DNA sequence: TATGAATGAGCCTTCATTCAT
DNA sequence: TATGAATGAAGGCTCATTCAT
């Protein structure tokens, strides 16, 4: 709760990402985390009051970092398509470069451990993106369907594209990204 | 190992779906499954030699049923678009109607417990669908991108659509399906 | 809760008595009990659902046995003094002969673990004794003070006498008992 | 080891009394004591070299204070009965007024943690009382039984009386004390 | 086949104690 | 002196699995 040694907190988070991606979040024990982070198991309790607390904090850290990356280099003055592409690319890149973090995030999200606070965090952080899409609808550049559907399409296609790259089914290059975004844009544009 | 009583085996599978959807696969114990299926815990070992074995078998059952549902009512003589729409609809319907089974499937898929055999099963079963898409590319109706990307787009958009419905963000009606498929088709068509 | 092997249940209770008397109830771990009873620690959970449950059950067993011993050989037709002496003797004998059980009983009684049920049990079992004393008051053989005080005097003096014997401060013979009861009787008689 | 700040030492002792009476000595942790005393846990080690040491010191403090209270207002020139009554009253009053301290004392006494030194302390402090009783025997006012039995009777009856008052079974008034001492005196007098 | 009893391994958590500041 | 950080040891409890009937 009141972390003193920031380095240790980060080592713990990193350990969680690595382990969750490696053996599945459910199989990650506190002993695993401690070993991987280079501290004693009981030391984890100096920083967090329970396993649940620890994971929730790591989740919030990761979620915030992820969403921040999604929005990076967004240029409000660029065209709608350019801005969506920027975000789409960020999502794909993040999923490929921070594979372990993403693996943890998805597993935790589906693990019924998600606290209400954490769930709200996700909503709040994606709000600007939704607004961008709504603006696109107003200027008649995007399909007139529930915005949530447009957002889901963008996220879903980025997700699938990154997955194919991570699995080795597609090369990690510009062509793949161009193809993927082409599908994405055609899906949502008016 | 050699299931005799098919009724019991099905009760076990049903128990697993229900429990996994309810409290998360990781939290499901053999005692839970046995109780829910109406047998003694040790009886599970009469049918399976380990927890892993049990889950893997249930997975294969569910996976097969799911893929079968995907292909149901496919009319080889219909137009490409109609056939894809049929499949897309089947996927969406299945995800909504068999929520518990799908929940189990996804959790198990991401749990690193998936045996090699089971992984191959997934590949094998989706082969006909890939072929359909390749045919569509040959007739220049679909984009000339790696077929896996097209398949991923269809599956991904169906998944996202069903998710929005399950969450209550979108109504479970024809309009939702029409909108969803519109995005899907625009994404993949040439 | 649903003991099958009565022998094991008794071995567990005996282990608790021995250990509580030896190292103090608070220091008795489930591992200790299991080792002493010749079973695995987890086996204890076959019989009881928690440590608290186990101790409470053992307590009720011991309490019942103890109170039964207090009342043994009571002759309703004997004189009041003879009957009180009988009971007093039983208490002293029990405290000396079943030292370990008594040690456990006293420690548990003062340990804030005592369930409401168990507390009520104690009250209920001592009721006949109180009635005997009240009858003694009615026949003007005993002092006219609150019966609870008379009961406490009898119990207290038996307790102290047994304690002195157990400690070796007094010999374990008839003289000690005669002296002790003399004090007891003089204390309560009218 | 070498207590400097007497205030802190007393705060610690007071914390122990309160906590032991409240949740049972066995459940009292050093963290509890520290919190209740307003210091850091590790600070306790500035004053004592171990938990055992701390409790033993607190015990000796409490024991000394208690025995001192027993002897307070003793008038060597008063009659034997008056002197015994004085002491008996002091014991009862102490048990009622210093409930928490007494609770700690009894729990610690039965916890097998009692050091040899502390055990001897108890003996030493009750010596004058034993001498008083022996003098009473010599003047043929008290029964000719082992003095330890007389002492035990006085202590035991005081204990039981105070217990009944603490429990609310008897009122905390002069009548209760008069009745109680009547039993006590009849028990020991010749 | 079906099951209740039994268990070893392991998990989360607590706590007295030590260390560094 | 005083304290927050760190930890090893241990405890209660769960669970997949085996055994005996």
Nearest to D187 among C111, C148, C186 (CB): C186
Alpha-helix residue ranges (DSSP H) falling in chain C: 6-23, 30-37, 44-47, 51-71, 80-97, 99-109, 116-138, 147-167, 174-188
Instruction: Report CA(A14)–C1'(E7) in Å, whole number.
Output: 36
CA dihedral A14, A20, A23, A24 (to 10 degrees): 180
* pLDDT recorded at residue B115: 79
Q: Which residue has the higher pLDDT, C4 or D146?
A: D146
Residue-wise pLDDT tens digits, B52-82: 999 999 999 999 999 999 999 999 999 999 9
A70: tokens are: 């999604």
pLDDT in tens, chain C (190 residues): 444 678 999 999 999 999 999 999 999 999 999 999 999 999 999 999 999 999 999 999 999 999 999 999 999 999 999 999 999 999 999 999 999 999 999 999 888 788 888 888 878 888 899 999 999 999 999 999 999 999 999 999 999 999 999 999 999 999 999 999 999 999 999 9
Sign for the CA dihedral angle at A30, A31, A32, A35 comes to positive
Residue-wise pLDDT tens digits, A160-177: 999 999 999 999 999 999
Interface of D with C (CB under 8 A): 23-27, 106-107, 110-113, 143, 145-146, 148-150, 152-153, 155-157, 159-161, 163-164, 169-170, 179-180, 182-184, 186-189
How far apart are the C-alpha atoms of B16 and D112, rounded to whole Å?
Answer: 52
Beta carbons of B152 and A163 less than 8 Å apart: yes
SS3 call for B142? strand
Beta carbons of B143 and A179 less than 8 Å apart: yes
Nearest to A156 among B106, B111, B156 (CB): B156
Instruction: Report CA(C59)–C1'(F14) in Å, whole number.
Output: 25
Alpha-helix residue ranges (DSSP H) falling in chain B: 6-23, 30-37, 44-47, 51-71, 80-97, 99-109, 116-138, 147-167, 174-188
- Residue D59: band (very low, low, confident or very high) from pLDDT cuts 50, 70, 90: very high
Pick the CATH number of B55-188 from 1.10.357.10, 3.40.50.2000, 3.40.50.300, 3.40.50.1700: 1.10.357.10
Q: How many residues are listed for chain A in this entry? A: 190
**pLDDT higher than 60, residue D90:** yes
* pLDDT recorded at residue C121: 81
**pLDDT higher than 70, residue B3:** no
* pTM of model > 0.75: yes
CB C171 within 8 A of CB C165: yes
> What is the fold of C6-188?
Tetracycline Repressor; domain 2 (1.10.357)
Residue-wise pLDDT tens digits, B28-42: 999 999 999 999 999
Question: How many alpha carbons fall within 13 Å on the CB side of residue A169?
Answer: 15
Mean pLDDT of D87-115: 92
| Physical contact, D and C (3 or more Cβ pairs within 8 A) | yes
CB B58 within 8 A of CB B33: no
How many other C-beta atoms lie within 10 A of the C-beta of residue D2?
5
Sign for the CA dihedral angle at B169, B171, B177, B182 comes to negative
CB of B159 within 7 Å of some strand E atom: no
- Residue D124: band (very low, low, confident or very high) from pLDDT cuts 50, 70, 90: confident
**What residue segments make up the domains of chain D, in order of their start?**
56-188
SS3 call for B158? helix
With contacts defined as CB-CB under 8 Å, which chain B residues touch A157? 153, 156-157, 187
Interface of C with D (CB under 8 A): 23-27, 106-107, 110-112, 143, 145-146, 148-150, 152-153, 155-157, 159-161, 163-164, 169-170, 179-180, 182-184, 186-189
* CATH class as words, domain D56-188: mainly alpha
Please give the full DSSP string across D40-75, using - where no structure is assigned: -GGGHHHH-SSHHHHHHHHHHHHHHHHHHHHHTT--
C177: tokens are: 């008992």
Beta carbons of A148 and B159 less than 8 Å apart: no
* pLDDT recorded at residue D129: 93
Residue-wise pLDDT tens digits, C122-171: 788 888 999 999 999 999 999 999 999 999 999 999 999 999 999 999 99
């Amino acid at each position: 709760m009141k972390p003193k040694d920031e380095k240790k907190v980060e080592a713990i988070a990193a350990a969680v990402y690595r382990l969750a991606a490696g053996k599945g979040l459910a199989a990650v024990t506190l002993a695993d985390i401690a070993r991987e982070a280079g501290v004693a198991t009981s030391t984890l309790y100096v920083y967090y009051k329970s396993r649940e607390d620890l994971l929730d904090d790591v989740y919030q850290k990761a979620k915030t970092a992820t969403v921040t990356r999604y929005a990076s280099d967004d240029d409000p003055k660029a065209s709608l398509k350019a801005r969506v592409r920027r975000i789409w690319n960020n999502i794909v890149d993040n999923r490929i470069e921070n594979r372990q973090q993403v693996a943890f995030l998805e597993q935790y999200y589906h693990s019924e451990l998600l606290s209400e606070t954490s769930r709200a965090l996700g909503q709040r952080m994606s709000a600007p993106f939704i607004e961008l899409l709504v603006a696109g609808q107003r200027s008649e550049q995007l399909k007139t369907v529930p915005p949530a559907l447009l957002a889901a399409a963008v996220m879903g296609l980025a997700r699938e594209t990154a997955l194919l790259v991570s699995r080795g089914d597609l090369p990690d290059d510009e062509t793949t990204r161009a193809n993927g975004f082409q599908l994405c844009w055609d899906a949502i544009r008016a």
